[in-house]
Structure formats: C-alpha cells, structure tokens
Amino acid sequence: MLIKTLISLLSTAITAVFISTATMSTAAAGDIPGYWTTESGKIWRNASGQCWRTQFWKEEHAIAECEGGKPAGSDMVAVSDGDMDGVADGQDSCPNSKSGVKVDARGCELDSDKDGVVDSMDRCPSTPAGVAVDAMGCELDSDKDGVVDSKDRCPGTPGGATVNAMGCELDSDKDGVVDSKDRCPGTAAGVKVGTTGCELDSDKDGIADVRDECPGTGSGQKVDAKGCEIGEVIVLKGVTFATSSDLLKGDSSRVLDEVAETLKRYPNMVVEVAGYTDNRGSASLNKALSQKRAESVARYLSAKGVSSANLKPKGYGIDSPIADNGTAAGRAKNRRVELHILQQ
C-alpha cells in the first residue's frame, strides 16, 4: 500500500513538472520577449525575486522590472541592484560599476571599440579593430614621433627627429641622407653624396668631384677653387682694367671671387699681389699704375673676406715681361696681376 502511494505521488509530481515546463515554454513566446512568463502573462521569478531569462534574451529585451527598477503599482518583487546600473546583482558580472556609466547586459562598462579600454577611460574612441593601444585607449606610438605604429613605416625613429606623415625622417634635399645625419643640407639635386650627405670628394682635397677640374690631387696638396694644385706663382687670367686706370672690368669679378674662395680656405697663406704693365709709356708712370692696380685687386679680395694682413700689394711696372711687347697680343699678356706665395 505504501509503495503504491509513493508511486502515485511521484507520478503526480512528474506530471506537474512537465505541465509547468510546457506552460513556461508556451508563455516564453508571448508578449514579453526574452523572459519566461506564466499563462497569465506575468514574468516568472526565482526565490530571490530575479526574472527568469530565456536563452533568446538580448540586451534590447531588458525591462526595468527585471533589471533593477520597480514601476508604480507593480505587484512583482524588486530585484536587488547594488551599483544601480540596471542589472540585478544576481546577474551582474561587474557588481561595482561606477555611477552613471553605461553597461552591457552583464553589468560591465561598455567598450564600444573593443580595444580593451572601457568607454569612460577611453580618450580615443573608435580605435580601429586589432590595433594595440595604451592605457588610455589610444594607438601606440612606440618611437614617440607623433605617428601611431599602425601607420609608421619607419619604426624606431631617433628621439627628436622630424618625420613625415609616414613616420620617416625628413630628407629635405632629397640626397638619400636624412636631415639628422646630413652635414651638408641643401645639396643640389642629382649630386652624388657620401654617408654624411656631403658631395663626394674622391681625392680628399676639399673640392667636390663635380667641381674638381684636377681629380687625383696628391694628399695634403694645397689646391685652388677648381681643385688644382697651387703653384708658387698664380697668374690671374681674366683680370683686366680700364685703359690707364685701376678700375676692374670684364670677367675680373668672377676670377677674383674664385681666388677669394681659395685664399679663405688657407687662412695662414700670405701672398704678394703683384701688378705689371706693358712697356708703353714711362717706366715711372707704369710702376705707379701697376701699384694702384695691385692695390685694387687686394681691396676686392679683402671685401670678399680675405684677411687684408695676408695681402701684400706691390707694383712692378714694366719689369719681368712674360711675352713680346712688340706685339699687341704680347703686350696684353704683360698687363697682368699675379699672386706670389710668400707663406703657405
């Protein structure tokens, strides 16, 4: 008799469970999506007063009665929500959310761009997916050049270097040597340069190959602005004067500019600026004229930056002709200015 009674009670209980489950399943598809409901349309709650969500529950299904609020006139028990984020404590994976922050269905702060930094601390919202970010949610700039790693084609730029939009150091003169290593900025386009960004000087004479008219000069030799070895006497070809005057004319300026460049490279070099004439006219007048012409050349060189102390003008007049004074061509050669090296 006892066994029959137990079997009967067990059968009744099992039937009740199936009926309850069937009722819940039917009600779940009712007017309150995402929650189990009774046949009368009320939401099921557990012993703690928490609403029962279905497996189809989504964040947009959340209602105040179940996620922390209790509307006026409700006959349902309010669910506990300690951090007041709208998610019941029993379902809150982040029970201590800061006041006022937006949370997801688990009660955790939103991270809208999925970079691992919650929105309230993210100074760079909308970070592209997959990029590495710092504690503020901003893309990393490992070399601190102002270009984030995902766009930096030249990682490891030295500190303080100026870079372009791709994170690469600038090469302002386009010679292949970045500005921070370029000792000769402003190199002309197309000129070959060495590792320091300076024009190549194969014979090491201080004159770049593109301007060196005498390549292969011996080591240690003093050379002029064209890269050619300086002799003891330098005739300033192209330096001419107005008739019976010390006024420079023609290509004199171009020639003397090159001479000044050469002399400035050797600040210890002392030269005599020697003036000569042809044999026409009196010797005394020619000597005085040659002195004035020598002084005119010395003044020009001094104005171009050559130390006046290194220039010793002297007029020789008709002395030491280098050509026949009997011809016009010879006399033209004899009317000249020379530099005599007195001290190297």
**Model confidence at 257: pLDDT above 80:** yes
* Predicted TM-score (pTM) of this structure: 0.48
- Higher pLDDT: 162 or 228? It is 228
Tokens representing 78 are: 């309010």
The model's pLDDT over 192-237, given as tens digits with 9 standing for 90+, comes to 887 788 878 888 888 888 888 898 887 778 888 888 888 888 889 9
What contacts 83, CB < 8 A, 6 or more positions away? Answer: 92, 94, 95, 96, 97, 99, 107
Question: Are 323 and 280 within 8 A, CB to CB?
Answer: no
**Maximum Cα–Cα distance across the chain:** 166
Could you tell me which residue, 137 or 238, shows the higher pLDDT? 238
Q: Where are the domains of the chain?
A: 2-79, 174-218, 233-343
**Which of 267, 289, 297 shows the shortest CA–CA distance to 334?**
289
pLDDT at 340 over 50: yes
Q: What is the mean pLDDT of the chain?
A: 79
pLDDT for residue 234: 87
Cβ atoms of 263 and 306 within 8 Å: the answer is: yes
User: Between 67 and 103, whose confidence is greater?
Assistant: 103
Q: How confident is the model at residue 67 (pLDDT cuts 50, 70, 90)?
A: low
pLDDT, tens only, 270-328: 999 999 999 999 999 999 999 999 999 999 999 999 999 999 999 999 999 999 999 99
pLDDT, position 258: 92
Given a cut of 90, whether residue 329 has pLDDT beyond it is: yes
CATH of 233-343, one of 3.40.50.720, 3.50.50.60, 3.30.1330.60, 3.40.47.10: 3.30.1330.60
Region 60-84: mean pLDDT is 61
For the record, the structure tokens of 251 come out as: 């290509």
Burial class (CB in 10 A: 0-12, 13-18, 19+), 227: buried
**pLDDT for 223:** 86
Q: Kindly tell me if the per-residue pLDDT of 48 is higher than 50.
A: yes
Is 11 a residue whose pLDDT tops 70?
no
How many whole angstroms separate alpha carbon 145 and alpha carbon 160?
A: 7
Token pair for 87: 């998610």
Q: Is 229 helix (H, G, I), strand (E, B) or coil?
A: strand
Q: Say if residue 29's pLDDT is above 50.
A: no
For 90-105, the pLDDT digits (tens) are 788 888 877 778 787 7
Judged against a pLDDT cut of 60, whether residue 15 lies above it is answered with no
Find the mean pLDDT for residues 45-58.
73
Are 210 and 191 in contact, with CB atoms under 8 Å apart? Answer: yes
258/172: higher pLDDT: 258
